[in-house]
Amino acid sequence: MRGSSAIRLFAAAACITLMAGQAVRAADFSGKTIEWVIPFSVGGGSDVWARFFAPLLGEQLPGRPTVVVKNVPGGGSITGANQFQSRARPDGLTILGTSGSTQFPYLLDDSRVKYQYKDWSTVLASPTGGVVYVSPELGVKSAAELPRLKGKGMKYGSQGATSLDLVPLLAFELLELDVKPVFGMKGRGDGRLAFERGEAAIDYQTSSAYLRNVVPLVKAGKAVPLFSWGVLDDKGEFVRDPTFPDLPHFIEAYEMAYGRKPSGIAFEAFKAFNTAGFAVQKGVFLPKGTAPDIVDAYAKAFAAVVTAPGFKEKAGDEIGEYHQATGAAAQKMLDVALAIDGEAKGWVKKWLTEKHGVKFE
């Protein structure tokens, strides 16, 4: 996938989002409870993101239903997504929130995946960012000191090598850091808790979880932020994340540490999966067979949420300052994120097998 093509589609998202908001309200959820399935544990970025949006969505859906978040962790989100695929009824009362950790196993042909994105209706696409931070006990204060971490044997609490953690694992590989992932975490929130307990020395969180749960650690001197993943500009180049303007993005951090830009197939793979995992990092879906009037109601509700006065400021404090796409715009953005470059995909699958013992059937 090329960043420039992604940007062209993202640039059209705003006008398509407004078109989605013109749908006629035919559905009515009066007196109903909407169950928002989040296939991760409580406290991670996806959980924080869903709990931010849930009351706002309930206010805008016809009939003003109650929207509750249901956490179904396991398998790096595969468990909850598989359950949604097989069990969710197309009545509009169950929606699914996914993350890059849901997209990556799908893209990498993980045999455990039973869900199909093509079966679902996309009603919201949320880009996000993320920040890598380390324990102050390691003695580094900025990305420029990254070479001092070589050979440290740092533990990292991970959901799995084919989850969204693939992006930081590739970053650690490029930086030549001796990071020892401890797989099996049910969500990024569990990884953060391992860091807080001193069981892990390096961690990363998506923007929403970082703002809520890690910034207090930084202020207390218990965590040292090093770099963000960055975002793509209108030329398809990585620039600083607007939510974390004082932090270098990964490419800047690499240059600060080694005096040159990263290059090679590993870097190309990192860029491809970084874009796939963060440009459309989270999405909201309705199950196969959902009636058009229900899909339209959700698209219009989310469009009303993200265009409401004060939303941008509120979102900036809770989930970061990123463009939110709804309806047809969200679907187009997801299509771009899932169109991963074949060469990058092949290299990553080989690397995962050799480095982390991942088997692909």
349 within a domain of the structure (yes/no): no
Q: Are residues 98 and 228 in the same domain?
A: no
359 within a domain of the structure (yes/no): no
What gap in Å lies between CA 224 and CA 136, rounded to an integer?
A: 6
What gap in Å lies between CA 285 and CA 300, rounded to an integer?
A: 14
Q: Which domain holds residue 138?
A: 130-276
Is residue 178 within 8 Å of 153, Cβ to Cβ? yes
pLDDT in tens, 277-331: 887 889 999 999 999 999 999 999 999 999 999 999 999 888 988 889 899 988 8
CATH code, 231: 3.40.190.10
CA 131, 133, 135: angle at the middle one, nearest 5? Answer: 165
357 within a domain of the structure (yes/no): no
**Final residue in a domain of this structure, among 276, 310, 329:** 276
Domain count for the chain:
2
Is residue 244 within 8 Å of 129, Cβ to Cβ? yes
pLDDT in tens, 98-126: 998 899 989 998 889 999 999 999 999 99
| Residue 28: burial class (beta carbons within 10 Å; 0-12, 13-18, 19+) | middle
What gap in Å lies between CA 302 and CA 52, rounded to an integer?
A: 13
pLDDT in tens, 57-101: 999 999 999 999 999 999 889 999 999 999 999 999 999 999 988
Is residue 121 within 8 Å of 296, Cβ to Cβ? no
In this predicted structure, the answer to whether residue 150 has a pLDDT above a threshold of 60 is yes
361 within a domain of the structure (yes/no): no
Is residue 262 within 8 Å of 254, Cβ to Cβ? yes
356 within a domain of the structure (yes/no): no
pLDDT in tens, 236-292: 788 999 999 999 999 999 999 999 999 999 999 999 899 888 878 899 999 999 999
In this predicted structure, the answer to whether residue 17 has a pLDDT above a threshold of 90 is no
Q: Cβ–Cβ contacts within 10 Å for residue 31, how many?
A: 9
* pLDDT at residue 234, rounded to an integer: 66
